[in-house]
Amino acid sequence: MRPRGIKPMKQDEFLETMGRLSLIDDEIKKEKELFEIKIKSLKLEKEYLKKRFREDKGE
């Protein structure tokens, strides 16, 4: 038995919804990749600044 308030979907509606969910999933994956790149960039910048600080401190 279907829970109250949930109506049956026609196949076209279902396919359209699945298509939208697929697009949303793709966008989330792209955003995740962007954030991973930003994190790598910040880590590299941190290492660079640490190394530079050590060099400046040593002089």
pLDDT given for residue 5 in this prediction: 75
Distance CA 20, CA 12 (A): 12
pLDDT tens per residue, the chain (59 residues)? 566 777 788 989 999 999 999 999 999 999 999 999 999 999 999 999 999 998 888 75
pLDDT given for residue 55 in this prediction: 86
pLDDT given for residue 58 in this prediction: 73
* Full-model pTM: 0.65
Tell me how crowded residue 1 is: count the other CB atoms within 10 A of its CB.
Answer: 3
For residues 55, 56, 57 and 59, what is the CA-based torsion angle, rounded to 10 degrees? 90
